[in-house]
A and B are shown apart, each in its own frame.
Chain A
Amino acid sequence: MLKLAIYGKGGIGKSTVTSNLAAAFARLGRKVIQIGCDPKADSTINLLGGDPVIPVMNFLREHDREPERIGEIAKTGFGGVLCIETGGPTPGLGCAGRGIITTFSLLADLRLFETYKPDIVLYDVLGDVVCGGFAAPIREGYASQVLIVTSGEKMALYAANNINSAVHNFEDRGYASVRGIVLNRRSVDREEEKVRAFADANNLPIVADIPRSDDIIRYEDMGKTVVEGDPELDVSKRFLALAQLLLDEENTSA
């Protein structure tokens, strides 16, 4: 089972990258779970035709009980991808990080992985590693590899550096390691050069280079990933190539 956590600055396109990667794995015949770890709970919406799944935190709030079946807090989207969202507390109250840990604990109690038996699990994590809750997806037993999404913008690279440092701080704990950088282009001047400088300085590979694409936006307006909408587009092929690269490595290491 390949478990990946996707981190990056808020608004950088983590959910777009994650859901397209999920769709790409699905198109390659793999059984995928995507878990959105963001109070906004919008990670999986483009795998679900725009019809969102109830987030786990919302379920707890509305029902005043824990879910008893995976089906109560999950929906199947494009390519059979099982979509789950942690959601978050009432805005301005509670603790979002704790919400992620609680959700993971509930999913373990519901024996999600044992019953669903996925090939791929993707964790789409809010922004930076701001507290223990947002490091939960990279704890032992969860993701073993981290992909950092960044553009060439200064603040995106700043966040990428923070994330990389945070993951390094956990080296003695058996946490995940950073697999590489996903360059999500924003039409920044000398964008590739800036991101490559960061990657080289940290000894990280750029595993995918996603061009800025109106097609992504066009299909998202239809509630789809571009990989679902048109797998023959160049941008779709970049996601499919990233998925294939990660699968090939998984097969080699296995």
Chain B
Amino acid sequence: MKQTARIISIHAADTSGVCSMLYELGGMVVVHDASGCNSTYSTHDEPRWYRQDSMIYISALTEADAILGNDEKLIGDVVSAAKDLSPRFIALCGAPVPLLAGTDFPAIAAEVESRTGIPAFGLHTSGMRSYLAGASEALKAVVSRFCTDALPRTDAPSANIIGATPLDFSINGTVESMIDWLNRSGFELVSCMAMGSTLDDIRRASAAHVNLVVSSCGLATAELLLERFGTPWVAGVPVGKKFPAVLASALKTAAKTGECALPCAERDASSPVKKLAIPGETIFSGSLAAAIESDLGAPCRVLCPLEAEDRLLAPGDIRIFDEDAAAEAFAASSVVIADPMYAPVCPPDVPFHRLPHEAFSGRCYRKESLNLIDRPLPWRF
């Protein structure tokens, strides 16, 4: 069946992406949706929920409010809560019901901002797109609003990490390992967007010499910083043993020349040899494919089930829009490395290696999640 997930899971929706990206930044996120749905965005998809406070709320939209277009109730509740909580910003985002009712979130945000004096923005979430779209729009909105001053570059080489959320990297030390690797590669960290850094750290983003984009949800923000401050970006995740050196070299070159680079897509997966298949977020999966090829000599191709620009794909990588396409691609592969929830559509004669992806299976396999940063890969083929 086309565009259907009958057996396997689907990726977290755009609303979860917003909540995840903005979780640590001191803003108030209000999802305009029926009461009870908060657990979806903030519990199942959010490992920080039980140990770190955040201001994520549901508006408790009712049928009558939706039919009557009772925006004033939402605006009044948000203004009232904002006065109690004094958030750094307010993000308003939608869900399927407001999508159908045509709720104008940017306009509502303008009203909220005029009444509270707190920066507010409306996001075009609908629950119909993946977490990447929501996380991307949310981060870009924050950076667009708060990174307005061109600060002098730091004396020592420095970088921002852009696009880090637990949905792609879980909470297993991966982000900390990326920061350690970045330091060892000769770059100070200015900010990590958006794990482990504050909004004030992110406000200093223009001081960085280069940006490291670790998920495709960071690309739009990297492009904004390139346009606004001329900061080049490099896309890739330093996984495996040899690929991190390639990435570090690309960062140094970009910082020197101002040219952007996509080491994660500088592969060729178009040879007819049966390959490893890696479905997932494109920058991570592309980096892992490059790492497997260089460390283990095994040809790989990325299967892209999510929104991704063409330039993030290498020749031979393929888009898979539903589970039938995933099953077909797995059957044509020698090995599959994927979230455990893909296993039911992998043919039994194709070896399957489990690599949990929080955006796909939530907290189900969190204990199995792997930190692959700058270290030997755990597989042999």
Contact = CB atoms under 8 A, between A and B. Distances in A.
Nearest to B114: A172
A98 B108 CA distance: 18
A170 interface: yes
B127 to A, nearest CB: 15
B101 A175 contact: no
Contacts of B106: 140
Given A131-B69, A132-B69, A101 B102 contact: yes
A204 to B, nearest CB: 23
A133 B107 contact: no
Given A131-B69, A132-B69, A175 B102 contact: no
A190 interface: no
A49 B308 CA distance: 43
A173 B110 CA distance: 6
A139 B69 contact: no
B102 A172 contact: no
Nearest to A174: B110
Interface in A111-143: 131-133, 135-136, 139-140
Contact of A132 (B103, B111, B114): B103
Contacts of B110: 172-174
A95 interface: yes
A97 interface: yes
Interface string B102-131: 111011101100100000000000000000
B100 interface: yes
B274 to A, nearest CB: 33
Interface in A81-99: 95, 97-98
Interface of B: 69, 100-104, 106-108, 110-111, 114
Given A132-B69, A132-B103, A135-B102, 18 more contacts: A95-B100, A97-B102, A101-B102, A131-B101, A132-B101, A132-B102, A132-B104, A135-B104, A136-B102, A139-B107, A140-B106, A170-B107, A172-B110, A172-B114, A173-B108, A173-B110, A173-B111, A175-B107
6 contacts: A132-B69, A133-B102, A140-B106, A172-B111, A172-B114, A173-B110
